[in-house]
Each structure stands twice: as C-alpha cells, then as structure tokens.
Amino acid sequence: MAKHCSRFFPISIERKTSADDGYGGRTNTWTELARTRATIEPLSGSEQLVAMRLRNPITHRFRFRYRSGITGADRIAFRGRTFNIRSVIDEREMNRWLVVVAAEDVQATS
C-alpha cells in the first residue's frame, strides 16, 4: 500500500470547451469542471531537446476523492500552474479515490 501525503491542496479540474467567437468562428477555452482538494506528489523530471529548445516535462501524482467523467483530455490547475492529465485511475476500483498522473511542461529559460 502506497504511503500518501496527509496534506490536501485546493486544485481545479478544467475541461477544454469551444465557444462562438462573435465573428462566425469558434474559440477554445478552458472551463472549470470541478474544485476539490488533493494530495500532490512529484514523480519525475526529465529534460529533452525539442525544436532546439530545452523542455522539462515534470510528472506529478494527484490523489483526490472519486468523481466520474474525468479524462485524459482534461487538465488540473494548481497555484497558477497547469498539468495535462496523462492517466486517471480509480484506486482499488471502489469509486472512493482517483489517482491522476499529470505532466507539466516547463520551458527552460537558458
């Protein structure tokens, strides 16, 4: 059994939505789907060279009360940072806790 941090932080789960831009087109925006509290654990960080720019994808694990409908197309907002959801796991398949692995892409400044 994994040991979980006992401190829960407020997060927002967001979903991309499309809306009329007023000029006959559509625009995509992120809309808050839910607010909850989660434990947050950094899992890994690695560097990769993409298009001659150094990128640092950092992976985190979020654990929070179960809610249905969260998918890999959603994202998590936490303290001004955004994390793209990579996987959603119903812990022990009991509809009590979700474990979400999400990645934040941080642009290197140097």
Q: Which domain holds residue 92?
A: 32-107
- State the pLDDT at residue 78: 96
Q: What is the CA radius of gyration of the chain?
A: 16
In a domain, 36, yes or no: yes
In a domain, 38, yes or no: yes
CA angle 50, 51, 57 (to 5 degrees): 25
In a domain, 7, yes or no: no
Distances 52 to 4, 55, 108 between C-alpha atoms, Å: 38, 9, 11
For the chain, list residues with pLDDT below 70.
1-6, 45-56, 105, 107-110
In a domain, 103, yes or no: yes
Q: What one-letter code names the amino acid at 28?
A: N
How many domains is the chain partitioned into structurally? 1
Global pTM value: 0.78
In a domain, 23, yes or no: no
Residues 6+ apart with CB under 8 A from 29: 16, 17, 18, 19
In a domain, 11, yes or no: no
